[in-house]
Amino acid sequence: MPRFSDWEGRYAFFAREFFPEPGCDTARTHGQAIYDELSSAEPVQLIEDHFGLTFGYNYLVARAVHTGGSYRPTPGDLGQEHLMFYLPLRELVTMPRYS
């Protein structure tokens, strides 16, 4: 997702199927704290991918709900990183992208 990491609102999307109101300062502040905590313990690229994938997942779910569907992205629908996120964390951090 090009330039996702430049978008200030990205921190509001820290959990799957959590849909904050646009511009919700509480969600953004909470998400920023989660980002800071996670990125102090794990590779920053991993955390950036987590937030980007969560946003993409939530977008697709919200779009499906809006159109009357119930679609949930399956592993890999959002790319290789999405597929890798179903690995245990100890395995995920050994992948070249995150090591």
What single string gives the DSSP state of each residue in 29-80? HHHHHHHHHHHHHS-HHHHHHHHHHHHHHHHHHHHHHHTT----PPTTTT-H
* Domain-located, residue 99: no
Structural domain span for residue 49? 9-92
Specify if 77 maps to a domain. yes
Whether 4 is in a domain gets the answer: no
Greater model confidence, 1 or 99: 99
Largest CA distance in the chain: 41
- 48: in domain: yes
Give the pLDDT score at 36.
Answer: 94
Q: What is the mean pLDDT of residues 17-46?
A: 91
Per the domain annotation, does 75 fall within a domain? yes
Domain count across the chain: 1
Q: How far is CA 92 from the centre of its chain?
A: 15
Residue 3 lies inside a defined structural domain of this protein: no
Lowest mean pLDDT among 2-11, 26-35, 78-87: 2-11
Over the range 70-90, which residues count as b (16 or more CB within 10 Å of their CB) and which as e? eeebeeeebeebbebbeeeee
- pTM for the full model? 0.81
How confident is the model over 32-88, as pLDDT tens digits?
A: 999 999 999 999 999 988 888 888 888 888 888 888 888 888 888 888 888 888 899
Is residue 2 situated within a structural domain? no
